Structure 1
């Protein structure tokens, strides 16, 4: 029973990861968090942002041996020799996986052709094994990062285009006819606009922070760091092999000179040229900036529409207030006529009741005409003072 529980605990944290090697081969592996930490050198807090149960904003983290990418639905760990993709069977991730496999296969073929080509520098000894040709292609980590950014930007651009195509007609229809249905539709589109703008803004800020810090970009040169580490191991092996000649003064002088050159090259190797990564990120930074500009333009259009709707509603409210003033004024003078009727309805005896029918009609029509005249006079007075239109 205890063995079964221990097996459950060990397998509880494992998830299926799609592993794509630098040769283009892909396969599934059930890997736990502890195994990934040993395999990539990542701390647990970096793996937490890839947890599909938790919600974390988009981020790109460059570490010593791996790059952690969390862009929209893409959750990937990139190393110098392989790529680990989480939730690869998700329909949203499937286009990214197919594109990544195609790019990695093309990258492997290109690198193989360069290795067998005539433009490749053949090293003379093991200490120069890290040298490559001038026409080297982007390393695996940059190829994978490019695919991640391309798929994320394409997804956001598609959502933006869909939202723009649906939002502008809805806003125009709302300006012509204010109804509960149109208001609800515009409200939903504004909620989508705010959420999409936040996602695009987060990726844009993440790229801007990386571009502003050369050390963050230098951390992403995983292949250069791996080759630099291999060169150090080769140099250390050479030192161990030549340990027996350490008492030779000529050898010691030459070895000091070599060690000085090696240390100077190590110092320069610790800070690789970040120009190629900067150019790569600048392209997608400009693309995500264009998407954000479209959303900002639509946000301004929504705000202008809201202002226009508010002005229209205020105008309707003013018209209703004027209607209320006119009705109140008419009610006032109608009440005056009712007072006259009430006075004549009293149980009293006056000469007017003894008169003929003509005098009664004169009194009635005189009261009606007087009330109408006073009403017209009150309306003209309100228009003259600017109280009524």
Structure 2
């Protein structure tokens, strides 16, 4: 749990910061500093408070992505990841995975000049090397020698897809063209998507592990309950069902959040932080160049400058291609859907076991009712014999009492035999009636 340190009126929390190079360090940052650093409102920061309980959510903002998935409570920017509950063992594992992912990508990346570099040739015959790294706004862009005539080219390089075919982007003059090769270069995921993928993978791995553990415990317990109904087994199954309902709700929330993102293209566009940073840099360069051109260009070039500005505005409004993010989210949506299906199958198995137990209990109840009816019939016949005995025990004078003793021994066994036969006939009649009942 992140610690809180009060310095006057300022509350400072300890955050674990992971940079885009994979380095991590703990930094104490105040709430206002976080809001200024990430551009997030206070309500988004409350969703990351470990003390509060908020549903799973992935929020795309102008300069950051807020991730609240299971044990992951993070703020992702284009350059770093901030974690608040870094003392959690599951979060520690997530940090290691993220650092390993970043280091692996950084050490195994292919230089873009060798894969999909292309040359831009202007009317003077000079060649200008450009790489796919410019797509993500890398520092390799040479911003010190931009001119108004190649500003449009730079905008197109920033926003066009790396899978573009051969095309010509015209700047000032008829001979100024950029030739792009047909071969597509492998696009490297931006930092925010690497971090988002690590968050989704960690959350899905946690849910998958809990589901597997619950499966290993639930199915044997349910089978044991069907073979032997006892208070201990019933209590064990009740606890398993409670855990199953809670876990299903958590998985359903994650699945619904991914489905919501996949259904809304605008939310996915908001998550392209690196492209938005590159767009801001291009806009800033555009503003600087327009001021410079306005001061130094001659009057007869003002028309071409105006056209260049119009083309630049069109290019900066190009929406990012959300296909790669959509594919990333769809993969984990399918994984959460599979986990939810496992939990659904387990829930059906629990329901089937409950139905089977209820049938067994109903059968036991029917047997008890049948036994009760038999005992009631025996009691009725016994009471009939007692009535007859009571009649003979009355203090009245009848001729039977004046007879020989042999008459008593004839009467008493006859009553007992008739009572026994009456009981047997009644039980047989009940069984015959029960056998004919549909």
2:265 maps to which residue? 214
1:361 and 2:409 correspond: yes
CA distance in 1, matches of 2:203, 2:232: 33
The alignment of Structure 1 onto Structure 2 pairs a total of residues equal to 379
Match of 1:236 among 275, 281, 287: 287
CA distance in 1, matches of 2:211, 2:190: 31
- Of 301, 306, 313 in structure 2, the residue corresponding to residue 256 of structure 1 is 306
Contact 1:107 1:140 in 2 (8 A): no
Contact 2:381–2:419 (CA under 8 A) maintained in structure 1:
yes
Q: Which one of the candidate residues 118, 130, 144 is aligned to 2:195? A: 144
Residue in 1 aligned with 2:79?
A: 81
Deviations 1:272-329 (A, max 9, x none): 0000000111111111110000000000010111111111111111111111111111
Partner of 1:35: 33
Q: Tell whether the 8 Å contact from 1:322 to 1:388 is kept in structure 2 after alignment.
A: no
The aligned runs of 1:218-297 (5 Å cut-off) are 218-245=269-296, 248-268=298-318, 271-297=319-345
Cα deviation, residue 263, structure 1: 1.3
What is the RMSD computed on CA atoms of the aligned residues? 2.1
Q: 2:237 is matched with which residue: 186, 190, 213? A: 186
Runs of 4+ in 1 over 6 A off after TM superposition: none
1:90-109: per-residue Cα shift (whole Å, max 9, x none)? 11211101111111222333
- For residues 406 and 93 of structure 2, the distance between their equivalents in structure 1, rounded to whole angstroms, comes to 96
**Structure 2 SS opposite 1:295:** helix
Larger deviation: 353-362 or 41-50? 353-362
CA pair 6-192 structure 1, distance change in 2 beyond 3 A: closer
1:329 to 374, 377, 381: 377
Which of the two has greater helix per residue? 1
1:8 Cα deviation after fit:
3.6
Question: 2:359 corresponds to which residue?
Answer: 311
Q: Which runs of 5+ in 2 are unaligned?
A: 119-128, 131-141, 163-184
Partner of 1:23: 21
Deviation at 1:110, TM superposition (A): 4.5
The alpha-carbon distance between structure 1 residues 27 and 365, as it changes in their structure 2 partners (threshold 3 A), is same
1:388 and 1:34 mapped to 2: Cα distance?
81
Report if the CA contact (8 A) 2:6-2:12 is conserved.
Answer: no
**TM-score between both structures, scaled by the size of structure 1:** 0.92
Aligned 8 A contact 2:262 2:268 in 1? yes
Residues 205-249 of structure 1, C-alpha deviations (whole Å, 9 max, x = no match): 000000011111100000011101101101111011122246x34
Residues 42 and 63, structure 1, Cα contact 8 Å, conserved in 2: yes
Cα offset for 1:76? 0.6
Alpha-carbon offset, residue 355 of structure 1: 3.0
Q: Within 2, Cα distance between the matches of 1:88 and 1:96?
A: 9
The change in CA–CA distance for 1:198 and 1:6 in structure 2 (over 3 A counts) is: closer
How many Å separate the matches in 1 of 2:262 and 2:218?
Answer: 33
State the secondary structure of the residue aligned to 1:70.
Answer: strand
Q: Unpaired runs of 5+ in structure 1?
A: none
Aligned pairs (5 A) from 1:78-157: 78-110=76-108, 113-114=110-111, 117=114, 119-120=116-117, 122-123=129-130, 126=146, 127=151, 128=154, 131=158, 134-157=185-208
User: For 1:113-137, what per-residue CA distance to the aligned partner results, in whole angstroms no more than 9, with x for missing partners?
Assistant: 5367564453475442864963230
